[in-house]
Structure 1
Amino acid sequence: MASAHTVSLQDVEAQTTEWLENVVIGLNLCPFAAKPQRNKQIKIEVSEGNTDEAVMEALLTELNLLESSDMTDLETTLVVTPNYFQDFDDYNQFLDVADMIIDQFGWRGIYQIASFHPDYCFADVEPDDESNLTNRSPYPVFHLIREASIEKALKYYGGDADAIPDINIDRVCSLSNDEKKALFPYLFRAHD
């Protein structure tokens, strides 16, 4: 991952968009993401915050924006924190705080948060296990999702939604090394 201090906010947004389009949509890791991206209903909000409080404020601002916006205008938001949570354990612990915000404002069942990080590691999986690639992004990301959007998408989804995580793991594990380097360049820069 590039140092956040050497990358502009526009570059962070561009890299996040590239990841969204090439990995999340390109590999069909989220079968529900292509349409909102095509319709320009996904917002990428880059937060310059570098404290828990600043990130909490950014999440709250974006959740309030979702709350006050029509789903046809704004489907979902990716809050990117390039200057904070470089350590995955710190990020992972903060997810509990993010969930508390959802509960505190009565948004349980309305919004949920999906998590992505350059060093994402599933519980009971080794850090270098390829399955972690499904949730590895160029920068720490808090994906704010409308539960109504998920329910609506599932009505039209032809497959077994519970199988999506396993399908995604199979998909990323089947990539060649060259494909992985092309799709996840930020993971390989430090190792080259």
Structure 2
Amino acid sequence: MSTPTQDTVLQDTQHWLVQAVIGLNLCPFAKAVHVKNGIRYVVSEATEPEALLKELAHELLLLQRSDPDEVETTLLIHPQVLTDFLDFNDFLAAADGLVDELELDGELQVASFHPDYQFDGTEPGDISNFSNRSPYPTLHLLRESSIERAVEAMPDTDRIFETNIETLEKLGLAGWLALGLKATP
């Protein structure tokens, strides 16, 4: 299988963001950031976890120093590394450790998306897993202040996960595929 071009990775990721994340309202806060062009998209060329970790450090520090009105959040997409979900999931501990090491805990956090995302206690094909399925392994770098503002604007944020499951169950796999989105496994 050939490695997709950076343009393909960006197009696939932006299509997923618009069709699934925003279109299905899986994240009620994404639309405003997207409309403001506040999302930084970075396609990593890393082929080893160590290289990705270095790139993650760079992107975390860049986000910290950036004006939130210009860069609100970053999607670090890494199609050539951590393609196995279990390896990706293990890497998240290193990502969280890096946030602590850079003394960014309480300021930035890392969320995760993967083509084979699977919540604990679910089967691989369960539609609920699709709430965190992206076309390529992706680390989402978020500002804690953005999350706090979102929570203030929408007090029942705990309900988002449940609403996402309900939305995806109504949509079903056929509906997901009809949006032009990929389905694995």
Q: TM-score with structure 1 length normalisation? A: 0.92
Report how many aligned residue pairs link the two structures.
Answer: 185
Please say if 1:7 is aligned against 2:30. Answer: no
Alpha-carbon displacement from aligned partner over 1:91-122 (angstroms, at most 9, x marks no partner):
00000000010010111111111110000000
2:158 maps to which residue? 162
Read off the aligned partner of 1:21 and give its amino acid letter. Answer: V
Q: Secondary structure at the residue paired with 1:84?
A: coil
What is the percent sequence identity of the aligned residues?
A: 43
How far the C-alpha of 1:53 sits from its partner, in A, is 1.2
Q: TM-score with structure 2 length normalisation? A: 0.95
1:96 maps to which residue? 93
Q: Secondary structure at the residue paired with 2:182?
A: helix
CA distance in 1, matches of 2:32, 2:111: 18
Alpha-carbon displacement from aligned partner over 1:47-79 (angstroms, at most 9, x marks no partner):
010111110011111111111101111000000
CA distance in 1, matches of 2:90, 2:103: 21
CA distance in 2, matches of 1:180, 1:118: 13
How far the C-alpha of 1:184 sits from its partner, in A, is 5.6
Indicate the RMSD between aligned Cα atoms, in angstroms: 1.4
Segments of 4+ moved more than 6 angstroms: none
How far the C-alpha of 1:40 sits from its partner, in A, is 0.4
2:26 maps to which residue? 29
